[in-house]
Amino acid sequence: MKTIIRTALCASLLFSTASMAAMMSDTTMVGGAEMYPSKNIVENALNSKDHTTLVAAVKAAGLVDTLQGKGPFTVFAPTNAAFAKLPAGTVDSLVKPENKATLTSILTYHVVAGKYEMKDLEKLIKKGGGHAELKTVNGQPLWIMANGPHNIQLKDGKGNMANISTYDVQQKNGVIDVIDTVLMPK
């Protein structure tokens, strides 16, 4: 009987310790992988099965070193499904060396200098009376607006709308927000 009680007590301690560790973790799951705040944007994105197209595009554009830099950056990261919504052949065409400038322009349109968490975006939207403008790294504006409580949408230069599905994925050099549509500059 003592052995059963000891075993139950040990199992209980083990499960409660594992639960506590999980609750205290600062990681966020994206694409089936934990995103670690101690890693940079590229290191984390490499592990997300939902961002393989984005990673390939970042490599093709030669932006790996930039996104591994000090930052801070806010990256609106389109998923593979977002890239799949583009017309057939678009991604294959963009990653060709002769289209590097266009690809770089599109990818840098997804990046804002500085670290903007959800609460910061909400403050900007409130201050702007329901919407706000962010200047992207490629120099063009991107608009943010509220779409209900705790739901922020992005509007690109062509009028397309993107929803943020996962907010505030902390990185060593900024923050990632996962989006459902590829943003296009004007």
Residue 2: predicted pLDDT = 54
| DSSP letter string, 76-119 | EEE-HHHHHTSPTTHHHHHTSGGGHHHHHHHHHTTEEES---HH
**Mean pLDDT, each 10-residue run in order, the chain (186 residues):** 46 39 60 82 88 94 93 96 96 95 97 96 96 97 90 96 94 95 96
Tokens 């397309």 found at: 160
Residue 18: predicted pLDDT = 37
Residue 25: predicted pLDDT = 52
- Which of 47-58 are b and which e, b meaning 16 or more Cβ less than 10 Å from the residue's Cβ? bbebbebbbebb
Taking the C-alpha atoms of residue 143 and residue 162, their distance in angstroms, rounded to an integer, is: 10
Pairing of strands 152-155, 28-30: unpaired
Residue 17: predicted pLDDT = 37
Residue 37: predicted pLDDT = 87
Taking the C-alpha atoms of residue 108 and residue 58, their distance in angstroms, rounded to an integer, is: 9
Residue 86: predicted pLDDT = 96
Taking the C-alpha atoms of residue 62 and residue 67, their distance in angstroms, rounded to an integer, is: 10
Taking the C-alpha atoms of residue 174 and residue 74, their distance in angstroms, rounded to an integer, is: 6
Pairing of strands 73-78, 174-179: parallel
pTM higher than 0.75, yes or no?
A: yes
111, two tokens = 């990046």
25, two tokens = 């973790």
Residue 2 CA neighbour count, 13 Å, CB half: 0
